[in-house]
Structure 1
């Protein structure tokens, strides 16, 4: 299932962490952004973290 990517995430980190991210991404043949997504999804799966799907926007629920 393809995810809609319309959010931006900016972080400050040390040069060492940035380099580790770059090295991990290269090893997986991913971009740094894709590597971050992969790591977050893996962490959430391992720890049973889920997010309820947001309600669809539209006219539903209006009186």
Structure 2
């Protein structure tokens, strides 16, 4: 199975928010990166923001 392509995101947050993120990730047995993705997807879903599939982003109509 092919792995999905990913993009790197770098940002600064308050240390207390980072610790809360670590705690949330640990409770869900997720990595911090995956927890951020889950939180973003949840927010987008609740606010009607569509997330394109990777093939749609690449413009080739194919996944990955």
Report TM bin, short chain: 0.7 to 0.9
4+ runs deviating over 6 angstroms: none
| Residue 4 (str. 1) matches residue 8 (str. 2) | no
Gaps of 5+ in 2: none
Compute the displacement of 1:51 (Å).
3.8
Answer with 1 or 2: which has the greater Rg.
Answer: 1
Of structures 1 and 2, the one scoring higher in RCO (CA 8 A, sep 6+) is: 2
TM-score by length of 2: 0.75
Matched length: 56
Aligned CA RMSD, in angstroms, stands at 2.2
Q: Which has the higher helix share?
A: 2
TM-score (norm 1): 0.76
Match of 1:56 among 51, 55, 60: 60
